[in-house]
Amino acid sequence: MNKLISGIQQVGIGVPNADEVWKWYRKTLGLNVPIFNDEADAKLMTNYTSGEVRRRHAIMALNMAGGGGVEIWQYKNRIPVEPSFVPELGDLGIFSIKIKSLDVTKFHGQLMSSEAKSSLVNSPENQPYFWLNDCRSNPLQIVPNESWFKPNGFLTGGVCGAVIGVSDIDKAIKFYANTLQIDQVVYDKTGTFEDFKFLNAHQQRFRRVLLRKHLGKDGAFGKLLGGIEIELVQALDRKPRKIFENRDWGDAGFIHLCFDALDMDALKTRCEKNGFPFTVDSADSFDMGEAAGRFSYVEDPDGTLIEFVETHRVPILKKFGIYLNLKKRKKQTHLPDWMVATLGWSKVKD
């Protein structure tokens, strides 16, 4: 079967202050290359915005060392709604994102004491990692990773995965592994876990499954985006709540996980065949201001929003009208490194 996705393109983060949050991600994690930074109306997302067209300011930023980006998303005509409860590990939705690191231990020691971070812990894979809260108290996992594009002085790269709360892991595997082909089962553990102590969840029982997709040869930006890690976590001692319960897409928190699509039509067919129909589909090239592509959304078995983007155009130097146009590109192999590296020409320096 043909490959349907390459890597994680970005994770959406709903915030009330996009510029301030981006500054934290730039300075702390090196996500300093804006792929787009613009305002627009989210006309196709009314299924998830209470039937109203919402205007937003969105900044998608990358770390050119490698990994997916963050899409920092701020309503312009509405104050984003915070959750009415503090989300706990195992609640349904994207609980945390995984940020790749060249040296987890060194980066842990490099962070300022004012940052909210856990001690170093070991995963069930016996790999060191730690928890770090961003400036909005969204939990991040800082994890080791072996797929890099071009290390650039930062000890971190971009997004390589997510921790997702689910109500039934076996049903979730049908979506993430069987449908999206993130199908290497690294571990499948049930019990209590000391590495959850920072989250005050070390005395609760969970089932946790780590799925992995290694860097392949597919996707124009596949080498930049790297591999994928999805950790599914099911709470066994309590009934989980939906993190976005009674809230809209774009409200505060991790609003979606976006994968780089290689063949949107084939992906749509496979999702429908497995019982996960597209709920949003731009159908053709959709102009996102400084970038363009076809995008779609689907829901995992618990309603977590998953986005797919088939990239058609990305800016290199917008002010000079220089873009990479990928729509007519027939091969889904990696672009040459030098060409991908030109995305970094728009890097913001603090």
Domains in the chain and their CATH numbers? Answer: 5-346 (3.10.180.10)
Gyration radius of the chain's alpha carbons: 19
DSSP letter at 52 equals: -
Average pLDDT, the chain: 93
Distance CA 74, CA 94 (A): 18
Q: How confident is the model at residue 21 (pLDDT cuts 50, 70, 90)?
A: very high
For position 286, what pLDDT does the model report? Answer: 59
Q: Binning pLDDT at 50, 70 and 90, where does residue 270 land?
A: very high
Q: Is the pLDDT of residue 185 over 60?
A: yes
Q: How far apart are CA 198 and CA 118, in angstroms?
A: 6
**Mean pLDDT score, 33-46:** 93
Q: What value does the mean pLDDT take over residues 97-119?
A: 95
Strands (E), the chain: 5-14, 33-42, 54-62, 69-75, 93-101, 121-122, 128-133, 139-144, 156-165, 184-191, 206-213, 228-235, 253-261, 280-281, 286-287, 292-299, 305-317, 322-325
Distance CA 305, CA 324 (A): 28
Give the per-residue pLDDT at 322: 60
Contact call for residues 254 and 138 (beta carbons, < 8 A): yes
**Is 60 exceeded by the pLDDT of residue 317?**
no
Q: Please tell me the pTM assigned to this model.
A: 0.94
- pLDDT exceeds 80 at position 329: no
Whether 98 and 229 have beta carbons less than 8 Å apart is answered as yes
**Using one digit for the tens of pLDDT, what is the confidence trace for 218-246?**
998 999 999 999 999 999 999 999 999 99
Within a 10 A sphere around the Cβ of 318, how many other Cβ atoms?
Answer: 15
Averaged over 253-264, what is the pLDDT?
A: 96
